[in-house]
Structure 1
Amino acid sequence: MKVLIKAAVATITLFVLAVVGLMAMVLADYDAEATEVTGSASGGLRGVPEEFRSWILKAAEECKQPELTPALLAAQLYQESKFNTSARSDVGAQGPAQFMPGTWATWGRDSDGNGEASPWDIGDAVMAQGRMMCSLLKEAKGSGYPGDVRALALAGYNAGWSHVEQFGGVPPKSFAKGQTYNYVQLILSTMKRFEGPGLLEVEGSGSGPDALRKAAGRLGTPYAYGGGGPQGPSTGFCDGANGYLNGKCAASNTVGFDCSSLVQYAYWPDLKLPRTAAAQYGATSDRPVSRQNLKPGDLLFWSHGGTGAIYHVAIYAGDNNVLHAPRTGRNVELAPLTSAMPQDDYVGTTRP
Structure 2
Amino acid sequence: MAMVLVDDDAEATEIPAAKGGLRAVPAEFRPWILKAAAECKQPELTPSLLAAQLNQESGFQTTARSGAGAQGPAQFMPATWATWGRDSDGNGEASPWDIGDAVMAQGRMMCSLLRQAKSSGFPGDVRELALAGYNAGWGAVEAARGVPHIAETQNYVKVILASMERFHGADPVEISGSGDGPEAVRKAATRIGTPYSYGGGGPKGPSTGFCDGRNGYSGGRCAASATVGFDCSSLVQYAYWPDLQLPRTAAAQFGATSDHAVSRQDLKVGDLLFWSHGGDAGSIYHVAMYAGDGNVLQAPRTGRDVEIAPLTSAMPESDYYGATRP
Q: TM-score range by the shorter chain?
A: 0.5 to 0.7
Is 1:189–2:166 an aligned residue pair? no
Q: Which residue of 2 aligns with 1:56?
A: 33
Q: Any idea what SS the aligned residue of 2:29 has? A: helix
Q: Which consecutive residues of structure 1, in runs of 5 or more, have no partner in the other structure?
A: 1-16, 21-32, 199-218, 227-269, 275-279, 302-313, 325-348
Task: Judge conservation of contact 1:81–1:97 (CA < 8 Å) in 2.
Answer: yes
Q: Any idea what SS the aligned residue of 1:137 has? A: helix
Pick closer, same or farther for the CA change 1:64–1:323 going to 2, 3 Å.
Answer: farther
Q: Which residue of 1 aligns with 2:22?
A: 45
Q: Which residue of 2 aligns with 1:299?
A: 290
Instruction: Give the distance between the partners of 1:74 and 1:141, measured in 2 at CA.
Output: 22
Q: For residue 134 of structure 1, what is the amino acid of its counterpart?
A: C
Is 1:318–2:291 an aligned residue pair? no
RCO (CA 8 Å, sep 6+): is it higher in 1 or 2? 1
Deviation of the 1:141 alpha carbon: 1.4
Which whole-Å deviations, capped at 9, do the CAs of 1:242-295 have from their partners, x for residues lacking one? xxxxxxxxxxxxxxxxxxxxxxxxxxxx97669xxxxx479x69x899xx9764
Residues 108-257 of structure 1 mapped to structure 2, 5 A cutoff: 108-172=85-149, 175=150, 178-196=151-169, 198=170
Q: Which residue of 2 aligns with 1:88?
A: 65
Q: Any idea what SS the aligned residue of 2:35 has? A: helix
Q: Identical aligned pairs, as a percentage?
A: 61
Q: Any idea what SS the aligned residue of 1:48 has? A: coil
Instruction: Give the distance between the partners of 1:72 and 1:184, measured in 2 at CA.
Output: 11
RMSD of aligned Cα (Å): 3.8
Residues 70-89 of structure 1 mapped to structure 2, 5 A cutoff: 70-89=47-66
Deviation of the 1:42 alpha carbon: 3.1
Instruction: Give the distance between the partners of 2:22 and 2:67, measured in 1 at CA.
Output: 30
Instruction: Give the distance between the partners of 2:266 and 2:68, measured in 1 at CA.
Output: 61
Task: Judge conservation of contact 2:110–2:134 (CA < 8 Å) in 1.
Answer: yes
2:76 to 81, 92, 99: 99
Q: For residue 19 of structure 2, what is the amino acid of its counterpart?
A: S
Task: Judge conservation of contact 1:40–1:68 (CA < 8 Å) in 2.
Answer: no
Instruction: Give the distance between the partners of 2:49 and 2:125, measured in 1 at CA.
Output: 13
Instruction: Give the distance between the partners of 2:127 and 2:84, measured in 1 at CA.
Output: 19
Pick closer, same or farther for the CA change 1:225–1:295 going to 2, 3 Å.
Answer: closer
Task: Judge conservation of contact 1:164–1:171 (CA < 8 Å) in 2.
Answer: yes
Task: Judge conservation of contact 1:133–1:153 (CA < 8 Å) in 2.
Answer: yes
Q: Any idea what SS the aligned residue of 2:28 has? A: helix
Task: Judge conservation of contact 2:175–2:291 (CA < 8 Å) in 1.
Answer: no
Q: Any idea what SS the aligned residue of 1:51 has? A: coil
Pick closer, same or farther for the CA change 1:119–1:96 going to 2, 3 Å.
Answer: same
Q: Any idea what SS the aligned residue of 1:316 has? A: strand
Task: Judge conservation of contact 2:19–2:37 (CA < 8 Å) in 1.
Answer: no
Deviation of the 1:351 alpha carbon: 6.1
How many residues align? The count is 209
Residues 325-336 of structure 1 mapped to structure 2, 5 A cutoff: none
**After the TM superposition, which parts of structure 1 deviate over 6 Å for at least 4 consecutive aligned residues?**
220-226
TM-score normalized by structure 1? 0.50
Q: Any idea what SS the aligned residue of 1:50 has? A: coil
Q: Which consecutive residues of structure 2, in runs of 5 or more, have no partner in the other structure?
A: 5-10, 179-262, 276-283, 310-322
Instruction: Give the distance between the partners of 2:3 and 2:26, measured in 1 at CA.
Output: 29
Pick closer, same or farther for the CA change 1:40–1:169 going to 2, 3 Å.
Answer: farther
Instruction: Give the distance between the partners of 2:115 and 2:324, measured in 1 at CA.
Output: 43
Q: Which residue of 2 aligns with 1:30?
A: none
Pick closer, same or farther for the CA change 1:34–1:46 going to 2, 3 Å.
Answer: closer
Pick closer, same or farther for the CA change 1:94–1:50 going to 2, 3 Å.
Answer: same
